[in-house]
Amino acid sequence: MDRLETFHHSDPTERSENEQPKGVQLRELIERNYLEMDQSTADMLKLLLEKHGYLSHVEVVFISPEEEPNTGGFFHRVQVDEQTFVPTIFIVSKNQEHMARLKDIRQSSATRTAVMLGIDFSQLSPNLLRQFIIAHELGHASDYVKNYETNPDYQGSDAAEEWNLHYEANLLSMPVPGFDPVDLREELSKFDNLEDFLKANPSLSKTIDIGEIKTKQDLINAQEIAYRTSTYESYADNFAADFLKNNAIKLNITELIDPDRR
């Protein structure tokens, strides 16, 4: 997803200039030891920038858990003018209760995170989940910068437009087409049960296996799995998992450190 997370919220790219969130370039964020960063986040971003210098212009915006109750972060291309889009990651400020809640309500997604990191679900701490989410969103930024923004086939705003087209096509392949998991969760909350939702959306009989999906939670789980295994999300997941596993010792991520490698 653009979001692990990531929730139906107003798209930051659609805000007026006066309402635009103030981002800080990743390089500047590291250089000035940004006050909103906890030490583990600062250490991770510094190392990630060392490994992937092409992300130095990516901007970071810290947001509160209240702004994004159902995610830990997301990625967007924030529009500056008609030709300029800034790749930006939005990170929910560190909050143990918020991350523990995410692990619970986004269990299918959290389970995939644990599998990708090669650990048991019980070992996925709130802090490690947050680190994965941040690295995941930077994985989206990496995808955008390498395959769209610097792609010679695209000029100016074409990169953002192509990203949007491909991402929308990706969402159309979901069990409930056009929805990311959090959007779907919010939509389902308007209905008492799955039957009522399907009556309101009869065309879904073509994309949903009623034999396997019998409750709203079943449908949310199916959407989560389809979403997290899609092309966009797999790219970001692999980026995050590889970075955290390959740098577990430097980042002191004890859950990922193989005793035989110490």
Which tens digits make up the pLDDT trace of 223-258?
A: 999 999 999 999 999 999 999 999 999 999 999 987
User: How confident is residue 3, by pLDDT bands cut at 50, 70 and 90?
Assistant: very low
Question: In the predicted model, what is the mean pLDDT of residues 134-140?
Answer: 97
Question: In the predicted model, what is the mean pLDDT of residues 104-109?
Answer: 88
Which stretches of the chain are DSSP H helices? Answer: 26-31, 39-51, 96-105, 107-117, 126-144, 158-171, 181-188, 194-200, 216-228, 231-246
Question: In the predicted model, what is the mean pLDDT of residues 202-219?
Answer: 87
Give the separation between CA 66 and CA 69, rounded to whole angstroms: 5
* pLDDT score of 16 more than 80: no
Give the separation between CA 43 and CA 179, rounded to whole angstroms: 34
pLDDT, residue 11, reads 40
Structure-token pair, residue 201:
């959306």
End-to-end alpha-carbon separation of the chain, Å?
Answer: 35
Tell the residue number behind the tokens 């930024």, with chain if given. 141
Which tens digits make up the pLDDT trace of 160-186?
A: 999 999 999 999 999 999 999 889 999
What does the H/E/C string look like for 69-123? Answer: CCCCEEEEEEECCCCCEEEEEEEECCCHHHHHHHHHHCHHHHHHHHHHHCCCHHH
pLDDT, residue 161, reads 93
Strand duo 85-92 + 59-63: pairing: parallel
pLDDT, residue 249, reads 95
Question: In the predicted model, what is the mean pLDDT of residues 213-230?
Answer: 92
pLDDT, residue 205, reads 81
Residue 156's region, left for phi above 0, alpha for psi from -120 to 50, else beta, is left
pTM, to two decimals:
0.86
Give the separation between CA 23 and CA 34, rounded to whole angstroms: 12
